[in-house]
Structure 1
Amino acid sequence: MQGQYGPNVAFGNQPGHVAVNTQAIKGARAGCAEPGDHHVGFDTAGHITFGGYSSYFIAAADENNQAAWRKYDQNRTVLYIEDNTKPNKPTELSVTPWRAPCKHCGGKTYLGDDLITIRARVTDPDGDQMRPYWTVNGGAYYGGVVGSWALATSKLDVRGKPDHTPYTWSVAAVDAHAGPTAAGPSFVIDRQASRKAATVGSDLYPADNRWHGGVGAPGRFTFTPNYEDGEVRDVDHFRYGWDDGAPYKVDATVLGGSASVLLTPPGDGPRDLYVYAVDRAGRLGPVTRHHFYVRAGNGPLAQWSFEGNARDSAFLGDRHGTLEGGTSYTPGFRRDQTEELIAAGDERQTAGRSRQ
């Protein structure tokens, strides 16, 4: 029954009502197919007024049908109540694996894994067993039966789902009744890493098979994504280092853009800088190995003394020149120990010594 209760409520003067259930009840009189007592009951789940009054009555489906009349034993007609509190709102909702939103993720978490597990802890004030009721992107389903305080899980297989598909999800615990619903953290799937390796350039240490810079001399290195036609431009940052573990990180200036760092090579000789482009889901693209040569010492990169030739006399210098035209070499001046200029071929006597 629904409505207000008072002294005027009677069988012929009832508040409004809705049907809970309909059953076929066998006759009890002699001559019926199965004479004798028969038990009948109705489950009122879903028809309880929480915080108010609930009342029930049994009537014929068609009260104008005399054949539907039944006599019930009033002394054995009872309302049986099983006290059951609704489950609590789930807590500790989480997603595994999980990563914090990147710099250029717009506050969203991007995941690049094939299988993603969602979790929630479910509890019930009565300690009853429950089933988690999951809703993922609008689709709902029950999980297996778990006890109170259990950490319920559901595994999502996102293989074959389009990249950049957003996921939202929620869960409620259900025993005889459903408890409140709790929403879990949303995420976006992105399983395609950068297809091509990033390009690496340097102002002081280009990869040109020549000797550059020197020990302790820093150079600027620039990392640039290398996209295929139609590829989503979603590089968020780069990882780099002097081994292929690339432990260092630098953010791109904008989503899909480049980045630069000032680095000092760890020593002279041949050196390798390893660089990966990383997308919003943390997936690494192919590695770039930037191979270059660092000079020992810090003298001039190139030096031409013009001592009768045009050879590069700097350490490891190989930028040799070639004389063209009517060139010739003529001895010039040199500076003696007294810092006096002496013309070549001029012999002077100073302090009993002869110098040329």
Structure 2
Amino acid sequence: MAAVVAVTSGTAHAAGNLPPKQPLVQDLQADNKPCATGDDKAYVSGPPTLAAVLYDPEEDDRPAEGNMVKGEFEAWWTDSAGAEQRRTYTTFAASSGLSQRWWMPEDVPANTVVSWRVRANDGKATSPWSSEGEGSVCEFVYDDVNPEKATLSSPEYPQRQDVFWVDGVGVYGHFTMDSPSDDVVAYTYGFMGGPYGTVRAQQAGGAVTIPFLPLASGPQQLTVRAIDRAGRSSGESAYEFNVKSGHAPVSQWKLADPAGTTSAAAETGTAARTGSGVTFAGAAPDGTGLTTTAHLDGGDQAFLTPDAPAVDTHGTFAVSAWVRPERTDRDMAVVSQGAGSTGAGLGLRRGDEGPVWSFTVAGQEVSGGAPETGEWAHVLGLYDAETGLAQLYVNGHETGTKTKAEPTRTTDAFRIGQGPGLSAWQGDLGDVRAYDRVVVPDEATELAYRKPKSLGHWSLETASDGASPERSGRAPLKLGTGATVYRVPDGSCLPELDPDCPAVSYPLVGDGHLQLDGETGYAATEQPVVDTSDSFTIGAVVRLADAEPAHPMTVLSQAGEHTDAFKVRYQPSEHAWQLVMPVKDEQGAAETVVSQIESADGGEGQGHRLAVVYDDATDQVRLYLDGFAGTSATADFADGWHSSGPLQVGRGHTADGWGEYLHGDVDEVQAYAGALRDSDITGLGWGTDPCLC
């Protein structure tokens, strides 16, 4: 009996088999570009790969391996002689729902509109063409010509052959990219050191402008390539310009005026008259270069003002100051200008979880940090008009969440120590600044930098009367039993040249080092060296005598009444150097432990350079191994406590008293008040003091 045949849309199929589904336009692509016609057609950079997702009905009675379909592609165009050209291609059968592809032949002509369509074939029936019914023909053009190079310009940063140095760090430039080619749709760009990106033109052939914020001074270069609608790239265009350092604040008051002064001299801008609640010649934060500051009593007359605006609140601006509050239980103003939608203010606010620093712009606030009564901090608020974002720096580190704001211009006077809706400042203020540009992150860090002060440098090259001197004549390290300073013995032979000469070991650094016997040996000062409740840095060079130490061995410690405020030790069970910092001066108190993994050296080599940095401003502690930030570990540690005991080299507190004696060598013990930066840590342990530049 003959098979029953049905006819639908001009195709035939056998009884029991449904024809494949018509390919959908949204499932068709040419080189990953969607099917389109007319002005929206795809432009490609070479003979493209055509792709289509093809489906066979799930209702078909098929074997377990699933429904299989082939793709029948067809493409056509009119050649230069006016004749129509057609190409066809049939794929291998593949499972329903998969993408099927046609890599088009090389004879596809350039700069010619090529039309194409596809249908599915399950071996018994074919689907309608993708162009039939509500479908559509797809079109593409193979473009074989690269666009011309982009032209570049900037009103703020002309090329260096036109103007050699241009102002500057923190001042936005705007760079326009254009191309003579009318089919350019995007530009890829890169500034030296970043940022890098791609920006699209609003219309083909259109120019684009991007902002750029210089973060550092010096030579700068922008490189750009124009990209056309086919994805073809132009050659590279380069634009070179030189960036100056960031210009000075528009207003600055150091507030280091003599006692009895009734106005504050301005480094830049206008002098600020003072209320009667302001007195000068107060204490200044150490390591800042400030000599004195102003004290404000928190009353109605606790203010300073130039009686004029200091910043344009409708543009980019920043305000900063060194501050030391006498109280943190009320909202207080550091500086302000205007109020409400036009105003900006920097101050201290009582937060839900305690006091915080606050920067408010047009009623929008960003807050963070933890003000402490009697503690100096550097606070800086920045509004970037280019991005519309307000942000806050505390002690040189960004804190809080950047906040969108839309301020308007205010003509109100700039005020120091007062602000709308806030109490007057009660405490000390110094070096108040106002900028009309972005203060970039490195500048914010530098403004808040407090240069550490050397507290001691023990080279451990000599000892007399049971003590090794400090290089500047400060307190020596007294040597306990089992501790000696080793120096190469005098002799007339050299082991390297004379095989009969006794072998000698050489000091770790310089002419000598401290040797500790691991049983009773240690060295100590008579008084505390670092204030462990404030920022400090301490470092040493150490070489263990044993490859497999039998117990933990402490290199450096400084004790309180019940335990050590900090302890640097080698923990053999972990094969690690550790920094241990109890949170309280109590036996059994919880500890913060920071570890760096490194095997013991067993008396070999030049030992390891260890350093501890506690930064009270950021409430972080870091352990460095061999002087590099990349080999350091960091932990949060808030509210360091003051230790009253002397600095110990080679031992630490245990539950049974002194213990964890070090068996090995120690050299170059160095201590500082303040937190050394990563770049300074690399200078420790070499026999000299880092420059702290």
TM-score, normalization by structure 1? 0.51
User: Alignment partner for residue 156 of structure 2, among 190, 196, 204?
Assistant: 204
Q: Secondary structure at the match of 1:110?
A: strand
Compared CA separation, residues 244 and 198, structure 1 to 2 (3 A) = farther
Tell me what 1:118 maps to: 51
- Give the alignment of 1:204-283 within 5 angstroms: 204-209=156-161, 210-227=164-181, 233-243=182-192, 247-252=196-201, 254-283=203-232
Quick check: 2:28–2:52 contact (8 Å CA) kept in 1?
yes
The yes-or-no answer on 1:188 pairing with 2:140 is: yes
The yes-or-no answer on 1:88 pairing with 2:42 is: no
The separation in 2 between residues aligned to 1:295 and 1:282, in whole angstroms, is 37
Tell me what 1:307 maps to: none
The separation in 1 between residues aligned to 2:248 and 2:35, in whole angstroms, is 47
The separation in 2 between residues aligned to 1:192 and 1:244, in whole angstroms, is 33
Compared CA separation, residues 143 and 111, structure 1 to 2 (3 A) = same
Q: CA deviation at 1:190?
A: 3.9
User: Alignment partner for residue 132 of structure 1, among 59, 65, 71?
Assistant: 71
Quick check: 2:110–2:144 contact (8 Å CA) kept in 1?
no
The separation in 2 between residues aligned to 1:217 and 1:85, in whole angstroms, is 71
CA distances 1:94-121 after superposition (whole Å, capped 9, x unpaired): 326314699xx94333222444132332
Quick check: 2:3–2:15 contact (8 Å CA) kept in 1?
no
User: Alignment partner for residue 177 of structure 1, among 125, 137, 162?
Assistant: 125
CA distances 1:35-93 after superposition (whole Å, capped 9, x unpaired): xxxxxx9x889xx4549xxxxxxxxxxxxxxxxxxxxxxxxxxxxxx745242215573
Compared CA separation, residues 244 and 118, structure 1 to 2 (3 A) = farther
CA distances 1:162-186 after superposition (whole Å, capped 9, x unpaired): 2252433121315233333334783
Quick check: 1:95–1:185 contact (8 Å CA) kept in 2?
no
The separation in 2 between residues aligned to 1:179 and 1:243, in whole angstroms, is 55
Q: CA deviation at 1:264?
A: 1.8
Q: CA deviation at 1:218?
A: 1.4
The separation in 2 between residues aligned to 1:198 and 1:260, in whole angstroms, is 12
The separation in 1 between residues aligned to 2:43 and 2:102, in whole angstroms, is 19
**More contact order relative to length (CA 8 Å, sep ≥ 6):** 1
Number of equivalences:
221
Compared CA separation, residues 213 and 160, structure 1 to 2 (3 A) = farther
Q: Whose strand proportion is higher, 1 or 2? A: 2
Tell me what 1:309 maps to: none
Quick check: 2:184–2:229 contact (8 Å CA) kept in 1?
yes
The separation in 2 between residues aligned to 1:280 and 1:147, in whole angstroms, is 32
The separation in 1 between residues aligned to 2:107 and 2:120, in whole angstroms, is 26
Instruction: Decide which moves more: 271-280 or 194-203.
Output: 194-203
Tell me what 1:165 maps to: 113
Q: Which amino acid aligns with 2:185?
A: D
Compared CA separation, residues 196 and 177, structure 1 to 2 (3 A) = closer
CA distances 1:235-263 after superposition (whole Å, capped 9, x unpaired): 11222221599743333354213222232
Q: CA deviation at 1:150?
A: 6.6
The separation in 1 between residues aligned to 2:137 and 2:194, in whole angstroms, is 31
Compared CA separation, residues 218 and 140, structure 1 to 2 (3 A) = closer
Q: Which amino acid aligns with 2:159?
A: A
Q: CA deviation at 1:211?
A: 0.7
The separation in 1 between residues aligned to 2:217 and 2:109, in whole angstroms, is 49
The separation in 2 between residues aligned to 1:245 and 1:153, in whole angstroms, is 39
Q: Secondary structure at the match of 1:212?
A: coil
Quick check: 1:270–1:291 contact (8 Å CA) kept in 2?
yes
The yes-or-no answer on 1:107 pairing with 2:40 is: yes
The separation in 2 between residues aligned to 1:219 and 1:129, in whole angstroms, is 59
Q: Which amino acid aligns with 1:171?
A: R
The separation in 1 between residues aligned to 2:194 and 2:230, in whole angstroms, is 18
The separation in 2 between residues aligned to 1:223 and 1:287, in whole angstroms, is 12
Q: Secondary structure at the match of 2:169?
A: coil
The yes-or-no answer on 1:97 pairing with 2:31 is: yes
Compared CA separation, residues 145 and 224, structure 1 to 2 (3 A) = closer
Q: Secondary structure at the match of 1:286?
A: coil
Q: Which amino acid aligns with 1:281?
A: A
Compared CA separation, residues 185 and 98, structure 1 to 2 (3 A) = farther
The separation in 1 between residues aligned to 2:42 and 2:68, in whole angstroms, is 33
Quick check: 2:23–2:129 contact (8 Å CA) kept in 1?
no
Larger Rg: 1
The separation in 2 between residues aligned to 1:249 and 1:110, in whole angstroms, is 19
Quick check: 1:164–1:190 contact (8 Å CA) kept in 2?
yes
Q: CA deviation at 1:140?
A: 6.2
Quick check: 1:94–1:185 contact (8 Å CA) kept in 2?
no
Unaligned runs of 5+ in 1: 1-40, 52-81, 228-232, 301-356
Q: CA deviation at 1:201?
A: 1.2
Q: Which amino acid aligns with 1:197?
A: K
The separation in 2 between residues aligned to 1:106 and 1:148, in whole angstroms, is 34
Q: What percentage of aligned pairs have identical amino acids?
A: 21
Compared CA separation, residues 176 and 130, structure 1 to 2 (3 A) = same
The separation in 2 between residues aligned to 1:123 and 1:257, in whole angstroms, is 45
Q: CA deviation at 1:292?
A: 0.8
The separation in 2 between residues aligned to 1:190 and 1:203, in whole angstroms, is 38
Q: CA deviation at 1:133?
A: 2.5
Tell me what 1:143 maps to: 90
Q: Which amino acid aligns with 1:200?
A: L
- Give the alignment of 1:277-292 within 5 angstroms: 277-292=226-241
Instruction: Decide which moves more: 109-118 or 92-101.
Output: 92-101
